[in-house]
Amino acid sequence: MILWGRIQDFPIFAVLQFLAAYRKTGVLEIQDFEEVGSVFVTGGRVDAISLPTSDDLLGRRLVKAGVLTEEQLRECLLDSVDEDDPAPLGVILLRRGATDQDTLQTIVNQQIHDQALELANWKSGTFKFVVPPEPIVFAVTPSVDVQTLLLEAARRMDEGDRPRREKVVVEDEVCLTCTLECNDAIKSRFLKSDVCLWRGMPAIAKDHAFRGARQPHPDQDDREELPFL
C-alpha cells in the first residue's frame, strides 16, 4: 500500500487525477459501509472500474446492445466454466467470432463512462492505492484518459444524469470491521478523543493487517505500528 485516505477528505476523482499526473500503475481500492469497488490504473490511465453492487456486467450490456443473443452469451459462459484458467468474456467472444474488436471497444467505453458516473456518488468511505505483485492485464481497455473520463462524468451530471442508485448518506458511518475485528485492545490504542483511527484505516476488513500482531506494552508509542509510518 502506497497511498490511502478518506473519500470525504479526498474525492475519488481528485485521487484519480493525482494518479494520472504521476502515471501510476496499480489498483485504487475503495469501500464504504455499503460496498467495495476497485479502479484499475495503468500508466495513469483507467483500464477498468469494478463496482459489483451497481454495475451492469459486460455480457448483459452486449445483449442489451443487440451484439449478442441470450443464447450466445450463455454458451460463452458455459464454455468458460470448463476451462482450468477461464479467459475473460471479451477474449472468448473475440475467439468465437461473436463480435469484433471495434464493437467490443465501443461497449467497454460506454461501460467505463457509466461506471465513472457511479463514482461521483461516493461521498464517504476510504480508499487505498496498492501495486499488485503481478500486473493485471485486460483484453480490452477504454480508449479514454482520466481527464476525459472525469470531464464527461461532470458534463452528464450538469445535464441531469445521475447514478443508477443513490448512496445512503449517514452522519456516522458504520465500520465494516466492528463486528469482525474490534476489541478492547484495539479501542485502547486507536480510539482517541472519540475519533477511531482503526475505523479510518482503508479496507482493513479485507487486509486483516493486524490479525495475529503482538500486543505492545502499554507504554509503547501508539504510532509505532501504524501502516502509514
Break the chain into its structural domains and give their ranges. 3-70+99-158, 175-229
Give every CB contact of residue 6 below 8 A, 6+ residues apart in sequence: 124, 125, 126, 127, 200
State the cell numbers at 9. 477528505
Please state the length of the chain.
229
Instruction: Report pLDDT for 209.
Output: 37
The strand order across the sheet containing 26-31 reads 3-6, 126-130, 26-31, 36-42, 45-50
pLDDT over 90 at 130, yes or no = yes
Q: Is there a contact between 88 and 137 (Cβ–Cβ < 8 Å)? A: no
Instruction: Report pLDDT for 26.
Output: 94
Quote the CA–CA distance of 93 and 136 in Å, as a whole number: 20
Say which range, 81-95, 112-126, 200-214, has the weakest mean pLDDT: 200-214
Rounded (10°) angle between helices 101-119 and 146-158: 60
Quote the CA–CA distance of 156 and 27 in Å, as a whole number: 25
Least Cα distance to 141 among 77, 98, 90, 203 occurs for 90
Segment 146-182, tens digit of pLDDT:
999 889 988 998 998 887 766 655 554 445 445 445 6
Instruction: Report pLDDT for 224.
Output: 39
C-beta atoms surrounding 153 within 10 Å:
21
Segment 175-213, tens digit of pLDDT:
544 544 566 776 666 655 444 554 554 444 344 333 333
Instruction: Report pLDDT for 131.
Output: 93
Count CA atoms closer than 13 A to 156's CA, side-chain side.
20
Quote the CA–CA distance of 126 and 31 in Å, as a whole number: 6
Instruction: Report pLDDT for 120.
Output: 85
Q: Is there a contact between 227 and 209 (Cβ–Cβ < 8 Å)? A: yes
List the end-to-end C-alpha distance of the chain, in Å, as a whole number. 12
pLDDT top residue among 88 and 229: 88
Quote the CA–CA distance of 57 and 149 in Å, as a whole number: 19
- Give the mean pLDDT of the chain: 75
pLDDT over 70 at 24, yes or no = yes
Please tell me whether residue 159 adopts helix, strand or coil conformation: coil
Instruction: Report pLDDT for 45.
Output: 92
The sign of the dihedral angle between the CA atoms of 137, 37, 115, 2 is negative
